[in-house]
């Protein structure tokens, strides 16, 4: 472990440009693959490099954030080129960290500290903060030192017991016409709308909506589970999650479950999925949203 001062000659932190995004995507993919291989537990599936489709999603998201929040997206470079990235954004009075990675081999030398400081500065006008942390002890240390409360995350994974799936009614496919409703559900659950992020997510995933006289909610389905789910009550949330599990292939995974969202654990266990832990939801100025399953990057 290296302690400050740092031994990275010619280190510069500068705003990210759209032309940086493909190299930033590769750097982040390498950083997370190295992390997954390092933290790998034998009971889990073998870590795989990021797929081309997921890489394309990463690029689309980062180009979107560069448009909405150019001041929140930063790269670190030295004489050899790009060595780190951090992207962040403000939605209403909520600051979120989307991506944070330093090139493997150069971690633990203070590059991440400088990058996070630049991203946090972008959120200085926001009352609340939200991020989804990996289990990397270096990331966890950075976030706690920046004042984030760390809420352990669980995830469900395994083969869905199809015979356990109930008949679910009052769930339909969503469209851009639902964004206003969805923004109001976001404000109730996480205190800030997703705004223009919904347009991006609609292009990436299938949207389902439930809107009845007793509750409203929505979820984006990524084929194996949910990419994001928000609802005004647990009953609506459970209905959406069951629909997601019915929509998934035989192997399903549902990530980013905090202890405040036991309704999701109950659905997953009823579907005979396994429960594990991984990473933290980092929060500043707010309590864990519920009923809510956050997205890892768009929160």
Ligand X SMILES: CC(C)(COP(=O)(O)OP(=O)(O)OC[C@H]1O[C@@H](n2cnc3c(N)ncnc32)[C@H](O)[C@@H]1OP(=O)(O)O)[C@@H](O)C(=O)NCCC(=O)NCCS
Residues forming contacts to ligand X in the complex (CB under 6 A) are: 1, 3-4, 31-32, 35, 100-102, 107-113, 133-134, 136-139, 141-142
Cβ neighbourhood burial of 92 (10 Å; 0-12, 13-18, 19+): middle
- Least Å distance between CB 138 and ligand X? 4
Closer residue to ligand X, CB minimum distance, 3 or 43: 3
Cα 82 to Cα 51: distance, rounded to the nearest angstrom: 21
Closer residue to ligand X, CB minimum distance, 1 or 167: 1
- Closest residue to ligand X, judged by C-beta, is 112
Residue tagged 């590059």 (tokens): 111
Cα 219 to Cα 185: distance, rounded to the nearest angstrom: 11
Closer residue to ligand X, CB minimum distance, 76 or 248: 76
Closer residue to ligand X, CB minimum distance, 31 or 57: 31
Q: What would the two tokens of residue 227 be?
A: 């990419």
Closer residue to ligand X, CB minimum distance, 120 or 273: 120
Maximal CA-CA distance, the chain: 61
- Least Å distance between CB 73 and ligand X? 14
- Least Å distance between CB 41 and ligand X? 16
Q: What would the two tokens of residue 37 be?
A: 């291989």
- Least Å distance between CB 35 and ligand X? 4
- Least Å distance between CB 34 and ligand X? 7
Cα 169 to Cα 255: distance, rounded to the nearest angstrom: 24
Cα 297 to Cα 299: distance, rounded to the nearest angstrom: 5
């Amino acid at each position: 472990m290296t302690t400050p001062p740092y031994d990275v000659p010619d280190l510069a932190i500068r705003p990210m440009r759209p032309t940086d995004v493909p190299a930033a995507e590769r750097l982040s993919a390498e950083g997370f693959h190295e992390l997954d291989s390092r933290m790998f537990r034998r009971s889990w599936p073998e870590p795989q490099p990021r797929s081309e489709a997921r890489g394309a999603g990463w690029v689309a998201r980062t180009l979107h954030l560069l448009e909405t929040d150019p001041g929140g997206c930063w790269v670190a470079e030295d004489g050899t080129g790009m060595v780190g990235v951090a992207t962040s954004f403000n939605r209403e009075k909520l600051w979120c960290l989307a991506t944070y990675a330093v090139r493997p081999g150069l971690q633990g030398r203070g590059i991440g500290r400088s990058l996070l400081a630049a991203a946090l500065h972008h959120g200085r006008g926001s009352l609340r903060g939200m991020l989804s942390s990996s289990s990397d002890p270096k990331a966890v240390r950075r976030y706690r030192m920046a004042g984030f409360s760390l809420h352990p995350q669980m995830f469900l994974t395994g083969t869905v017991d199809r015979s356990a799936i109930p008949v679910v009614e009052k769930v339909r496919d969503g469209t851009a016409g639902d964004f206003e409703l969805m923004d109001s559900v976001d404000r109730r659950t996480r205190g800030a709308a997703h705004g223009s992020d919904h347009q991006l997510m609609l292009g990436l995933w299938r949207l389902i909506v439930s809107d009845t006289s007793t509750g409203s909610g929505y979820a984006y389905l990524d084929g194996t589970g949910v990419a994001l789910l928000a609802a005004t009550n647990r009953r609506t949330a459970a209905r959406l999650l069951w629909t997601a599990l019915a929509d998934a292939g035989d192997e399903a995974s549902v990530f980013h479950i905090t202890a405040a969202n036991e309704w999701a654990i109950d659905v997953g266990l009823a579907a005979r999925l396994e429960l594990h832990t991984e990473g933290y939801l980092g929060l500043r100025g707010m309590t864990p949203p519920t009923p809510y399953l956050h997205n890892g990057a768009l929160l």
